[in-house]
Structure 1
Amino acid sequence: MEEDNKKIHLSLTRRSFFSTMGIGAATVVASGKLTAWASEEDKVIDPMELTEITLKINGRAHRILVEPRWSLLFVLREHLGLSAAKAGCERGECGACTVLINNVPRYACMTLAVEAQDTEIVTLEGLMKGEELGHVQQAFLEQDAFQCGYCTPGQIMAAEGLLRSTPKPTDEEIRKGMGGNVCRCGAYHNIFQAVNHAAKLKRGG
Protein backbone atom coordinates (compact mmCIF):
# COMPACT_ATOMS: atom_id res chain seq x y z
CA MET A 1 0.00 0.00 0.00
CA GLU A 2 2.80 2.38 0.93
CA GLU A 3 4.60 1.59 -2.37
CA ASP A 4 1.39 2.28 -4.31
CA ASN A 5 1.07 5.70 -2.61
CA LYS A 6 4.67 6.52 -3.52
CA LYS A 7 4.02 5.60 -7.18
CA ILE A 8 0.87 7.77 -7.25
CA HIS A 9 2.75 10.67 -5.64
CA LEU A 10 5.64 10.35 -8.11
CA SER A 11 3.25 10.05 -11.02
CA LEU A 12 1.36 13.18 -10.00
CA THR A 13 4.59 15.06 -9.42
CA ARG A 14 5.90 14.14 -12.86
CA ARG A 15 2.58 15.01 -14.48
CA SER A 16 2.44 18.39 -12.70
CA PHE A 17 6.04 19.09 -13.63
CA PHE A 18 5.59 18.39 -17.32
CA SER A 19 2.27 20.26 -17.43
CA THR A 20 3.88 23.29 -15.80
CA MET A 21 6.83 23.15 -18.18
CA GLY A 22 4.46 22.91 -21.15
CA ILE A 23 2.49 25.97 -20.03
CA GLY A 24 5.72 27.88 -19.34
CA ALA A 25 7.11 27.08 -22.77
CA ALA A 26 3.87 28.09 -24.45
CA THR A 27 3.90 31.35 -22.49
CA VAL A 28 7.47 32.09 -23.57
CA VAL A 29 6.63 31.41 -27.22
CA ALA A 30 3.45 33.49 -27.05
CA SER A 31 5.17 36.40 -25.32
CA GLY A 32 7.89 36.29 -27.94
CA LYS A 33 5.26 36.57 -30.69
CA LEU A 34 3.48 39.38 -28.87
CA THR A 35 6.76 41.27 -28.52
CA ALA A 36 7.46 40.79 -32.23
CA TRP A 37 3.98 42.05 -33.16
CA ALA A 38 4.34 45.02 -30.82
CA SER A 39 7.69 45.97 -32.29
CA GLU A 40 6.21 45.87 -35.80
CA GLU A 41 3.12 47.93 -34.95
CA ASP A 42 4.64 50.47 -32.58
CA LYS A 43 7.16 51.97 -34.95
CA VAL A 44 7.94 55.52 -33.86
CA ILE A 45 8.23 58.19 -36.53
CA ASP A 46 11.53 59.98 -36.38
CA PRO A 47 10.64 63.63 -35.60
CA MET A 48 13.74 64.75 -37.48
CA GLU A 49 12.87 62.89 -40.68
CA LEU A 50 11.84 65.19 -43.53
CA THR A 51 8.55 64.53 -45.30
CA GLU A 52 7.40 66.12 -48.53
CA ILE A 53 3.97 67.70 -48.34
CA THR A 54 1.88 70.07 -50.44
CA LEU A 55 0.08 72.95 -48.77
CA LYS A 56 -2.50 75.01 -50.65
CA ILE A 57 -2.23 78.51 -49.20
CA ASN A 58 -4.12 81.54 -50.52
CA GLY A 59 -4.92 79.62 -53.69
CA ARG A 60 -1.32 78.63 -54.40
CA ALA A 61 0.22 75.16 -53.94
CA HIS A 62 3.53 74.93 -52.07
CA ARG A 63 5.56 71.70 -52.16
CA ILE A 64 7.96 71.66 -49.23
CA LEU A 65 9.97 69.32 -47.02
CA VAL A 66 8.94 69.42 -43.37
CA GLU A 67 9.64 67.59 -40.16
CA PRO A 68 6.50 65.84 -38.79
CA ARG A 69 6.74 67.89 -35.57
CA TRP A 70 6.67 71.31 -37.28
CA SER A 71 3.59 73.43 -36.70
CA LEU A 72 1.77 75.14 -39.54
CA LEU A 73 2.70 78.47 -37.93
CA PHE A 74 6.41 77.63 -38.06
CA VAL A 75 6.20 76.60 -41.72
CA LEU A 76 4.21 79.70 -42.69
CA ARG A 77 6.59 82.12 -41.01
CA GLU A 78 10.00 80.50 -41.28
CA HIS A 79 9.78 78.59 -44.56
CA LEU A 80 7.21 80.39 -46.70
CA GLY A 81 7.74 83.97 -45.56
CA LEU A 82 4.06 84.48 -44.67
CA SER A 83 4.60 86.36 -41.44
CA ALA A 84 1.16 87.90 -40.84
CA ALA A 85 0.18 85.07 -38.48
CA LYS A 86 1.94 85.94 -35.23
CA ALA A 87 3.65 83.68 -32.69
CA GLY A 88 2.05 84.69 -29.40
CA CYS A 89 1.55 82.11 -26.67
CA GLU A 90 2.21 79.15 -29.05
CA ARG A 91 -0.08 76.95 -26.95
CA GLY A 92 -3.53 77.70 -28.34
CA GLU A 93 -4.64 80.43 -25.96
CA CYS A 94 -4.19 83.88 -27.51
CA GLY A 95 -5.31 83.46 -31.14
CA ALA A 96 -2.59 85.68 -32.66
CA CYS A 97 -1.73 82.87 -35.10
CA THR A 98 -5.29 82.32 -36.38
CA VAL A 99 -5.68 81.27 -40.01
CA LEU A 100 -8.59 79.78 -41.93
CA ILE A 101 -8.52 76.08 -42.79
CA ASN A 102 -11.43 75.16 -45.04
CA ASN A 103 -13.00 78.49 -44.00
CA VAL A 104 -12.84 77.62 -40.29
CA PRO A 105 -10.61 79.69 -37.94
CA ARG A 106 -7.82 77.52 -36.54
CA TYR A 107 -4.76 78.15 -34.38
CA ALA A 108 -1.76 77.61 -36.65
CA CYS A 109 0.46 77.01 -33.62
CA MET A 110 -1.65 73.99 -32.63
CA THR A 111 -1.92 72.54 -36.13
CA LEU A 112 0.83 70.35 -37.53
CA ALA A 113 1.86 71.24 -41.06
CA VAL A 114 1.36 67.62 -42.14
CA GLU A 115 -2.24 67.80 -40.86
CA ALA A 116 -2.99 70.72 -43.14
CA GLN A 117 -2.47 68.79 -46.38
CA ASP A 118 -5.50 68.54 -48.68
CA THR A 119 -7.08 71.64 -47.14
CA GLU A 120 -7.62 75.23 -48.24
CA ILE A 121 -5.53 77.52 -46.05
CA VAL A 122 -6.07 81.28 -46.00
CA THR A 123 -3.79 83.69 -44.16
CA LEU A 124 -4.15 87.44 -43.69
CA GLU A 125 -2.08 87.98 -46.85
CA GLY A 126 -4.75 86.08 -48.80
CA LEU A 127 -7.50 88.58 -47.92
CA MET A 128 -5.90 91.34 -49.95
CA LYS A 129 -6.46 91.97 -53.64
CA GLY A 130 -3.08 93.24 -54.70
CA GLU A 131 -2.56 96.37 -52.59
CA GLU A 132 -6.27 96.70 -51.81
CA LEU A 133 -7.41 95.74 -48.32
CA GLY A 134 -10.10 93.14 -47.81
CA HIS A 135 -13.44 94.13 -46.24
CA VAL A 136 -12.52 93.01 -42.73
CA GLN A 137 -9.11 94.67 -42.91
CA GLN A 138 -10.74 97.91 -44.12
CA ALA A 139 -13.30 97.77 -41.31
CA PHE A 140 -10.62 97.32 -38.64
CA LEU A 141 -8.78 100.31 -40.08
CA GLU A 142 -11.86 102.53 -40.20
CA GLN A 143 -13.04 101.56 -36.71
CA ASP A 144 -9.58 101.93 -35.14
CA ALA A 145 -9.88 98.36 -33.85
CA PHE A 146 -6.33 97.96 -32.61
CA GLN A 147 -3.69 99.55 -30.41
CA CYS A 148 -0.34 97.74 -30.48
CA GLY A 149 -1.59 95.70 -33.45
CA TYR A 150 0.11 92.41 -32.52
CA CYS A 151 -3.15 90.47 -32.15
CA THR A 152 -4.82 92.21 -35.09
CA PRO A 153 -4.00 89.62 -37.82
CA GLY A 154 -5.55 86.86 -35.71
CA GLN A 155 -8.55 89.03 -34.84
CA ILE A 156 -9.15 89.78 -38.52
CA MET A 157 -8.92 86.11 -39.50
CA ALA A 158 -11.34 85.11 -36.73
CA ALA A 159 -13.76 87.80 -37.93
CA GLU A 160 -13.35 86.67 -41.55
CA GLY A 161 -14.15 83.09 -40.58
CA LEU A 162 -17.19 84.19 -38.60
CA LEU A 163 -18.57 86.29 -41.47
CA ARG A 164 -18.07 83.51 -44.00
CA SER A 165 -20.32 81.24 -41.96
CA THR A 166 -22.61 83.94 -40.52
CA PRO A 167 -22.92 86.93 -42.90
CA LYS A 168 -25.20 88.90 -40.56
CA PRO A 169 -24.11 88.01 -37.02
CA THR A 170 -25.80 89.20 -33.84
CA ASP A 171 -23.77 90.85 -31.08
CA GLU A 172 -23.79 87.56 -29.16
CA GLU A 173 -22.56 85.64 -32.22
CA ILE A 174 -19.74 88.17 -32.62
CA ARG A 175 -18.75 87.74 -28.96
CA LYS A 176 -18.68 83.95 -29.38
CA GLY A 177 -16.94 84.08 -32.75
CA MET A 178 -14.19 86.35 -31.44
CA GLY A 179 -13.95 84.65 -28.05
CA GLY A 180 -10.82 82.67 -28.95
CA ASN A 181 -8.75 85.79 -29.61
CA VAL A 182 -7.16 87.83 -26.83
CA CYS A 183 -6.40 91.56 -27.09
CA ARG A 184 -4.03 92.48 -24.31
CA CYS A 185 -4.62 96.17 -25.03
CA GLY A 186 -8.35 95.71 -24.38
CA ALA A 187 -9.66 97.14 -27.67
CA TYR A 188 -12.67 94.82 -27.66
CA HIS A 189 -15.33 97.52 -28.08
CA ASN A 190 -13.76 98.76 -31.30
CA ILE A 191 -13.11 95.20 -32.48
CA PHE A 192 -16.80 94.33 -32.14
CA GLN A 193 -17.71 97.52 -33.99
CA ALA A 194 -15.26 96.58 -36.74
CA VAL A 195 -16.82 93.13 -37.16
CA ASN A 196 -20.29 94.69 -37.46
CA HIS A 197 -18.96 97.20 -39.99
CA ALA A 198 -17.17 94.45 -41.95
CA ALA A 199 -20.43 92.50 -42.18
CA LYS A 200 -22.09 95.53 -43.79
CA LEU A 201 -19.17 96.05 -46.18
CA LYS A 202 -19.33 92.40 -47.25
CA ARG A 203 -23.04 92.75 -47.90
CA GLY A 204 -22.39 95.85 -49.99
CA GLY A 205 -23.54 98.29 -47.32
Structure 2
Amino acid sequence: MRRTIARELMDDPVDDVAELEGNLRDIAFANAVFGGSAPVVRTVRGLGARSVLDVGSGAADVPLALVRDAERRGVELHVTCLDRSDQMLAIAQARTCRHPSLAFVRADGDALPFADGAFDVVTCTLALHHFEPDGAHRLLRELRRVSRLSPVVCDLRRSPLAFGMTWLWSRTSRNRLTRHDAPLSVRRAYTPGEALALARAAGWRAASVRGEPFFRMTLWDAA
Protein backbone atom coordinates (compact mmCIF):
# COMPACT_ATOMS: atom_id res chain seq x y z
CA MET A 1 0.00 0.00 0.00
CA ARG A 2 1.62 3.22 -1.16
CA ARG A 3 1.76 6.23 1.11
CA THR A 4 -0.72 8.96 0.13
CA ILE A 5 0.26 12.63 -0.07
CA ALA A 6 -2.79 14.72 0.86
CA ARG A 7 -3.98 17.22 3.44
CA GLU A 8 -6.42 16.41 6.19
CA LEU A 9 -9.20 18.83 7.07
CA MET A 10 -7.68 19.45 10.49
CA ASP A 11 -4.40 20.56 8.89
CA ASP A 12 -6.03 23.92 8.24
CA PRO A 13 -8.08 26.22 10.50
CA VAL A 14 -11.59 24.87 10.98
CA ASP A 15 -14.47 27.35 10.73
CA ASP A 16 -16.71 25.43 13.13
CA VAL A 17 -14.87 25.15 16.45
CA ALA A 18 -17.54 22.79 17.82
CA GLU A 19 -16.86 20.47 14.90
CA LEU A 20 -13.13 20.53 15.65
CA GLU A 21 -13.84 19.83 19.33
CA GLY A 22 -15.92 16.82 18.29
CA ASN A 23 -13.09 15.55 16.11
CA LEU A 24 -10.60 15.91 18.97
CA ARG A 25 -12.98 14.02 21.28
CA ASP A 26 -13.01 11.18 18.76
CA ILE A 27 -9.20 11.20 18.64
CA ALA A 28 -8.96 11.22 22.45
CA PHE A 29 -11.41 8.30 22.59
CA ALA A 30 -9.33 6.36 20.06
CA ASN A 31 -6.14 7.11 22.00
CA ALA A 32 -7.70 5.88 25.24
CA VAL A 33 -9.46 2.79 23.86
CA PHE A 34 -7.17 1.73 21.02
CA GLY A 35 -3.86 2.25 22.76
CA GLY A 36 -2.54 5.59 21.60
CA SER A 37 -1.94 6.89 25.11
CA ALA A 38 -0.80 3.70 26.86
CA PRO A 39 2.49 3.14 24.96
CA VAL A 40 3.53 6.75 25.54
CA VAL A 41 2.67 6.62 29.24
CA ARG A 42 4.50 3.31 29.62
CA THR A 43 7.63 4.50 27.83
CA VAL A 44 7.81 7.86 29.64
CA ARG A 45 7.35 6.07 32.97
CA GLY A 46 10.15 3.63 32.11
CA LEU A 47 12.52 6.47 31.26
CA GLY A 48 11.90 8.11 34.63
CA ALA A 49 11.13 11.49 33.06
CA ARG A 50 10.30 14.51 35.19
CA SER A 51 9.93 17.04 32.36
CA VAL A 52 8.18 16.34 29.06
CA LEU A 53 7.48 18.35 25.94
CA ASP A 54 4.50 17.04 23.96
CA VAL A 55 4.61 18.15 20.31
CA GLY A 56 1.35 18.35 18.38
CA SER A 57 -0.72 18.09 21.55
CA GLY A 58 -4.16 18.53 20.01
CA ALA A 59 -6.65 18.32 22.86
CA ALA A 60 -3.79 17.40 25.26
CA ASP A 61 -5.35 14.05 26.18
CA VAL A 62 -1.94 12.33 26.12
CA PRO A 63 -0.23 14.98 28.31
CA LEU A 64 -3.12 14.72 30.76
CA ALA A 65 -2.74 10.94 30.83
CA LEU A 66 0.98 11.40 31.56
CA VAL A 67 0.48 13.74 34.53
CA ARG A 68 -2.34 11.61 35.96
CA ASP A 69 -0.14 8.52 35.76
CA ALA A 70 2.61 10.43 37.57
CA GLU A 71 0.17 11.60 40.24
CA ARG A 72 -0.91 8.01 40.90
CA ARG A 73 2.76 7.09 41.39
CA GLY A 74 3.48 10.09 43.61
CA VAL A 75 5.89 11.55 41.05
CA GLU A 76 6.09 15.22 40.10
CA LEU A 77 5.92 15.55 36.32
CA HIS A 78 5.58 18.73 34.26
CA VAL A 79 4.43 18.58 30.64
CA THR A 80 4.64 21.42 28.15
CA CYS A 81 1.97 21.07 25.46
CA LEU A 82 3.03 22.49 22.10
CA ASP A 83 0.86 23.00 19.04
CA ARG A 84 1.01 25.35 16.07
CA SER A 85 -2.76 25.95 16.17
CA ASP A 86 -4.32 28.56 18.44
CA GLN A 87 -7.61 26.70 18.03
CA MET A 88 -6.07 23.48 19.34
CA LEU A 89 -4.39 25.18 22.28
CA ALA A 90 -7.60 26.91 23.35
CA ILE A 91 -9.51 23.62 23.23
CA ALA A 92 -6.72 21.82 25.12
CA GLN A 93 -6.65 24.42 27.90
CA ALA A 94 -10.41 24.17 28.33
CA ARG A 95 -10.50 20.35 28.26
CA THR A 96 -7.67 19.97 30.79
CA CYS A 97 -9.07 22.70 33.07
CA ARG A 98 -5.60 24.31 32.99
CA HIS A 99 -4.10 21.50 35.07
CA PRO A 100 -1.24 22.98 37.14
CA SER A 101 1.26 20.44 35.79
CA LEU A 102 0.56 21.47 32.18
CA ALA A 103 1.91 24.49 30.29
CA PHE A 104 0.94 25.54 26.76
CA VAL A 105 3.13 26.93 23.98
CA ARG A 106 2.36 27.83 20.38
CA ALA A 107 5.17 26.85 17.99
CA ASP A 108 6.02 24.61 15.06
CA GLY A 109 7.23 21.11 15.79
CA ASP A 110 10.00 21.27 13.22
CA ALA A 111 11.46 24.47 14.71
CA LEU A 112 11.23 24.08 18.47
CA PRO A 113 12.01 27.24 20.49
CA PHE A 114 13.97 25.38 23.17
CA ALA A 115 17.61 24.70 23.95
CA ASP A 116 19.31 21.37 23.35
CA GLY A 117 18.29 18.81 25.98
CA ALA A 118 15.74 21.18 27.51
CA PHE A 119 13.38 18.31 28.44
CA ASP A 120 13.95 14.79 29.72
CA VAL A 121 11.62 13.39 27.07
CA VAL A 122 9.80 14.80 24.05
CA THR A 123 6.64 12.98 23.03
CA CYS A 124 4.70 13.19 19.78
CA THR A 125 1.47 11.27 19.21
CA LEU A 126 -0.40 11.01 15.91
CA ALA A 127 1.50 13.91 14.35
CA LEU A 128 4.34 12.29 12.40
CA HIS A 129 2.08 11.25 9.52
CA HIS A 130 1.12 14.91 8.96
CA PHE A 131 4.69 15.55 7.73
CA GLU A 132 6.06 14.58 4.34
CA PRO A 133 9.52 12.93 4.48
CA ASP A 134 11.55 16.16 4.44
CA GLY A 135 9.35 17.69 7.14
CA ALA A 136 9.33 14.44 9.11
CA HIS A 137 13.13 14.45 9.05
CA ARG A 138 13.20 18.00 10.45
CA LEU A 139 10.60 17.12 13.09
CA LEU A 140 12.46 14.02 14.27
CA ARG A 141 15.76 15.91 14.35
CA GLU A 142 14.19 18.59 16.56
CA LEU A 143 12.59 16.01 18.87
CA ARG A 144 15.99 14.38 19.34
CA ARG A 145 17.74 17.72 19.85
CA VAL A 146 15.62 18.92 22.77
CA SER A 147 15.32 15.47 24.44
CA ARG A 148 17.85 14.72 27.15
CA LEU A 149 16.88 11.05 27.48
CA SER A 150 14.83 10.13 24.43
CA PRO A 151 12.12 11.26 22.06
CA VAL A 152 9.01 9.05 22.04
CA VAL A 153 6.86 9.03 18.91
CA CYS A 154 3.62 7.06 18.70
CA ASP A 155 1.80 6.97 15.39
CA LEU A 156 -0.26 4.84 13.05
CA ARG A 157 1.16 1.98 10.98
CA ARG A 158 0.13 2.05 7.32
CA SER A 159 -1.40 -1.13 5.91
CA PRO A 160 -4.51 -2.14 3.94
CA LEU A 161 -5.98 -3.80 7.04
CA ALA A 162 -5.37 -0.70 9.16
CA PHE A 163 -7.06 1.43 6.52
CA GLY A 164 -10.09 -0.86 6.34
CA MET A 165 -10.57 -1.09 10.09
CA THR A 166 -10.07 2.65 10.57
CA TRP A 167 -12.56 3.41 7.81
CA LEU A 168 -15.12 1.19 9.54
CA TRP A 169 -14.49 2.86 12.92
CA SER A 170 -14.79 6.33 11.37
CA ARG A 171 -18.28 5.45 10.12
CA THR A 172 -19.44 5.23 13.76
CA SER A 173 -18.88 8.98 14.08
CA ARG A 174 -21.10 11.70 12.67
CA ASN A 175 -18.22 14.17 12.73
CA ARG A 176 -17.22 15.29 9.23
CA LEU A 177 -13.55 15.70 10.15
CA THR A 178 -13.32 12.27 11.74
CA ARG A 179 -14.98 10.54 8.81
CA HIS A 180 -12.67 12.25 6.32
CA ASP A 181 -9.39 12.43 8.26
CA ALA A 182 -9.22 9.11 10.13
CA PRO A 183 -8.92 6.83 7.06
CA LEU A 184 -6.69 9.36 5.31
CA SER A 185 -4.39 9.41 8.36
CA VAL A 186 -3.65 5.71 7.83
CA ARG A 187 -2.94 6.26 4.15
CA ARG A 188 -0.53 9.09 5.08
CA ALA A 189 1.17 7.09 7.86
CA TYR A 190 4.62 5.54 7.65
CA THR A 191 5.45 1.88 8.05
CA PRO A 192 7.72 0.95 11.00
CA GLY A 193 10.63 0.47 8.61
CA GLU A 194 10.08 3.87 7.01
CA ALA A 195 9.79 5.58 10.39
CA LEU A 196 12.97 3.90 11.62
CA ALA A 197 14.87 5.02 8.53
CA LEU A 198 13.65 8.60 8.98
CA ALA A 199 14.74 8.59 12.64
CA ARG A 200 18.20 7.28 11.82
CA ALA A 201 18.61 9.87 9.07
CA ALA A 202 17.59 12.52 11.62
CA GLY A 203 20.45 11.56 13.92
CA TRP A 204 18.79 9.11 16.32
CA ARG A 205 21.81 7.01 17.24
CA ALA A 206 20.01 3.96 18.66
CA ALA A 207 16.55 4.26 17.14
CA SER A 208 14.10 1.45 17.88
CA VAL A 209 10.53 0.86 16.78
CA ARG A 210 7.91 -1.39 18.35
CA GLY A 211 4.57 -2.42 16.88
CA GLU A 212 1.60 -1.71 19.12
CA PRO A 213 -1.98 -3.06 19.09
CA PHE A 214 -4.57 -1.48 16.82
CA PHE A 215 -2.12 -0.55 14.08
CA ARG A 216 0.06 1.78 16.14
CA MET A 217 3.82 1.93 16.59
CA THR A 218 6.19 3.49 19.10
CA LEU A 219 9.52 4.95 18.02
CA TRP A 220 12.23 5.92 20.54
CA ASP A 221 15.98 6.38 20.80
CA ALA A 222 17.68 4.20 23.38
CA ALA A 223 20.75 6.45 23.27
Shorter-chain TM band: under 0.3
- Could you state the TM-score of these two structures normalised by the residue count of structure 1? 0.26
Higher strand share: 2
Which structure would you say has the larger Rg? 1
Higher helix share: 1
Considering Cα pairs closer than 8 Å and 6+ residues apart, tell me whether 1 or 2 has the greater RCO.
2
